[in-house]
Amino acid sequence: MSAHPSTLIPEADLPRELSPELAVEAAYAGPLAEVASRLARGLPVLVECDKELSPYAFANVRGRLKPSGIQCLYLDGRPRATADPAGGGAMATGFVGNMLNQLRDAVRGSVERRVVVLPHLDLLTTSQGGLTAEAREVIPLLYENPELVWLGFKDPSFPLPRVIENLFPHRASLLGIPRDRLGHLVTQKEARKFGRRFHAWGLYKYVSGVNAVRLRRLLSTLEGEDYPEDPKHAYRQLRQATLVGTLEVPETDLDRDIGGYTRVKDRLRAEILDLLARKDGATDADEAARLEALIPRGLIFWGPPGTGKTLFAKAMAASLGAAVTIVSGPELKSRWVGESEENLRQIFRRARQSAPSVIVFDELDSFASARGMYTGSGVEHSMVNQLLTEMDGFHREEMVFVVGTTNFVEALDPALLRPGRFEFHLQIPYPDADDRRAIIQIHDRAMGLQLTPEALEFAVRQTAGPVEGAAPGTLHSGDHLNALCRATARIRIREGLTGPTDPDLIERAMTEWIERPKMTRAEEWTVATHEAGHAVCSLHCPYAATIDRISIRGDAAGALGFVRYQDKAHRYIVTRGELLDDLCVLMGGREAEAMLLDDLSIGAAEDLRRATAIARALVEEFGLGGDEIGVGRFAADEKSRPLSPARLELLDRRISEILEEARRRAAGILAENRASVEALRDLLVEKKVIDAKALSTLGGR
């Protein structure tokens, strides 16, 4: 044997023919020999396997016990040749009733040790693992005769009640196929459908969750030419045949269907997809196993709502040729005891049967929050435990991935995040300008919007800030961009537009149905004066952000007007000069009213709140209050020492001084540029909305 076993198996080493019985022996010889050994020693055994496999598994065990002279009684509910229908045969009592009669006869009529086989234990339980009426009769019988040795078969679809499981001290699992046995389950004729070189590991990825009997059935029906240059046709047939229920392989392409997010895509490829591709192509089994051990099976995709976390999971599944199951966390919960955990078991079972597969738990935090934080019925605790049990039961060679999406990764149970479970964390943030441009271009092609370059850039700029009317801090996500493009498409259809889409149409799509306040001329004059004050101060403050747009149409929720700024060049470092410029700009609106109007409005309330917070932070937290205050942090918290009255008075006085300095600075800038303030005010009253290009005529930076 080679020191480095190969994943490529020569055709001559494969069997010429293979019956289901021989396939079961080839796949499960070790576990079945152990089952027979335990039974021979008088120990009951529970075998977990698919229904179609259980008759073949029993036949194999019976053959192993035969040389020892041990008799087996198979209680399958079918009428015996000597059964008297009038005396309680199958026709009189039904299938389950007949099985109960057979069980009574076996228990009360046997005086010698023999193996009694129970192939249909699932008929004694409900889907939630409760006891049926028949099971209440069966349980006393199972414990009545100590001379009987029980061999039970458990369908993985049905949990057994604890009282029945306790009857079996030894258990065996015949789920899926051991990878090292796959080379014994494919005939030479079938291997030719996969090309001139049979890659066992490449095939195993598609059949890991299939039992040996079903595998033989699938392989024997493969169609296509022998020794194809590309074996995709054969793999495609297997992929379709192994999809369970309504599962399907998504067609989402990582590049074609997801715009932008280059860094996210690069990391997903580098740490998951590229390693899997390299593992699938490896011809050395040891190397493939090493690569396999490096690939995380549990992944957390986290970030704000609407940023495409589920879409990335679908694209990952499509790249792997994997079936995807999307599960909503809240939908898993049930008021019935045990049903939530059973829902989880069934999801993982179907995923294993349809491997390669990806399970996506949407809103994972809805049931997997840190234990001790639950506010619901308590079922979440059991669901987390069940999820951990399922993930800990993964075999390394199983191509089943679990993706949890969440908006609150910090709320997840720490037990889920340790290595071996959800160890791979991928942040999917709000899209930046380049991402938004790429996303809009994808929707442009899909919806036929024919965006002009100007319209595209206008849409990118207009979606840079917060979403109007949404919760504070909500920025434009991929979902918001999709909604904008769909709104644009609806306008084009409604009005029969066939030409290119210009910026005005994008503007309409964003603002057409916003309920704007009906301001009087005097009110517009006041709002325009206020916003002009902000803008002119911003134009003459060297560290202020560049203005992108000014509006007095009441577009912003809770505000009659606004000045919107472009993204700052420096996102991570904030300097004292920037904060002082922010204070000056915030004071500009009120000071413009004081300079040009007869009275002051209360429109500066939010400006003053923000300005006071900045001034207080400068003095109390950032050590930027000046020489009189000194360098230190003076904000009160539970761990800090109480401040003296003199210190508090000094801090408050310095905060007031900083605010007054900002006010005087704003007043000075506006006085020096009064003509610009008035011109901008008049332009705003006339146009209602002006952009950066119109502002360039007013001077400043």
State the catalytic residues: 531
**CA quadruple 338, 341, 346, 349: dihedral positive or negative?**
negative
Residues in Cβ contact with 129 at an 8 Å cutoff, skipping those fewer than 6 apart = 158, 159, 160, 161, 338, 342
- Give the three-class secondary structure for 375: coil
CB-CB contact of 342 with 127 (8 Å) = yes
Task: Return the DSSP state at 569.
Answer: S
- Give the three-class secondary structure for 461: helix
Residues in Cβ contact with 370 at an 8 Å cutoff, skipping those fewer than 6 apart = 411, 412, 413, 414
* Residue whose entry in the numeric block shows the structure tokens 């039961």: 393
| Cα within 13 Å of Cα(182), Cβ side | 26
404 strand-pairing partners: 300, 361
Torsion of CA 433, 439, 444, 450, to 10 degrees: 20
Cα separation, 293 vs 282, whole angstroms: 14
Give the relative orientation of helices 339-353 and 379-392 as an angle to the nearest 10 degrees. 20
The 10 Å Cβ neighbour count of residue 348 is: 22
Residues in Cβ contact with 196 at an 8 Å cutoff, skipping those fewer than 6 apart = 227
Using the CB atoms, write b or e for 571-601: b if 16+ within 10 Å. Answer: eeeeeeebbbbbbbbbbbbbbbbbbbeeeeb
**CA quadruple 477, 421, 159, 177: dihedral positive or negative?**
positive
φ and ψ at residue 176, rounded to 5 degrees: 70, -160
- Give the three-class secondary structure for 391: helix
Alpha-helix residue ranges (DSSP H) falling in 673-696: 674-687, 692-695
Cα separation, 693 vs 169, whole angstroms: 81
- Give the three-class secondary structure for 496: coil
- Give the three-class secondary structure for 689: strand
Cα separation, 325 vs 343, whole angstroms: 13
Cα separation, 440 vs 484, whole angstroms: 9
**Both tokens of residue 482?**
């999709």
Cα separation, 680 vs 23, whole angstroms: 85
Name the residue among 213, 176, 172 with its Cα closest to residue 47. Answer: 172
Using the CB atoms, write b or e for 130-157: b if 16+ within 10 Å. Answer: ebeebbeebbeebeeeeebbbbbbbbbe
Cα separation, 517 vs 102, whole angstroms: 82
**Both tokens of residue 229?**
């240059």
